[in-house]
Amino acid sequence: MANLIGQYHTDNSNLVKPDLHLVIATRKKTTPKKPLKYLLSKEKGGFRYLSSLYLFEPETGEKEGFLRFSFDYEGKLYLLTIQKAVNQATITEFAKITQFHKLNNIVELGEFNYPKNSGNAGI
C-alpha cells in the first residue's frame, strides 16, 4: 500500500491523493472498543479495512473548523485532520503513543523525566 502520510483532497467521505484513495466509513453499531468511524482503503476489487478512527480534541476542532481523528496502522499512530471548508485533509504520524491513546486521547510526543525533589528537569 502507498504511504498514508500526506495531503488529500476530500469529497464527502473520500480522501484522495494521487497514489491512494481512502474512505471514512460509519459503523451501524458501536462498542467501547469500536467507535462510530473507521478508515478503509479503496483498492482493486473492493475495500480493505485499515483502522478505527478515534475523535481527537473535538472541542478544539469544532471551534477552529476542523475534525481530527487518531488511528493506528501497522504499529504506528497517525493523526487525520479534516478541513471541510477547503475540502482538504492531512495525515501525519505521531512520534510515540501511550498505551491509553484510544481511551483518553493522550499523546506523548517525547520522553521527559521530571525529578520530584529538584528544581532542574532532565530531558
Is 28 part of a structural domain of the chain? Answer: yes
Is 61 part of a structural domain of the chain? Answer: yes
Is 32 part of a structural domain of the chain? Answer: yes
Count structural domains, the chain: 1
In this predicted model, what pLDDT tens digit does every residue of 3-53 receive, in sequence order? 999 999 999 999 999 999 999 999 999 888 899 999 999 998 899 999 999
98-101: long-range contacts (C-beta < 8 A, 24 or more apart)? Answer: 101/54, 101/70, 101/77
In this predicted model, what pLDDT tens digit does every residue of 45-72 receive, in sequence order? 899 999 999 988 766 666 678 889 999 9
The range of the structural domain enclosing residue 60 comes to 6-96
Given this model, what pLDDT does residue 1 score?
64
Is 116 part of a structural domain of the chain? Answer: no
Given this model, what pLDDT does residue 116 score?
38
Is 109 part of a structural domain of the chain? Answer: no
Is 43 part of a structural domain of the chain? Answer: yes
Asked if 27 contacts 36 with a C-beta cutoff of 8 angstroms, the reply is: yes
Is 122 part of a structural domain of the chain? Answer: no
Is 11 part of a structural domain of the chain? Answer: yes
- Residue 43 grid coordinates: 483498492
**How many residues would you count in the chain?**
123
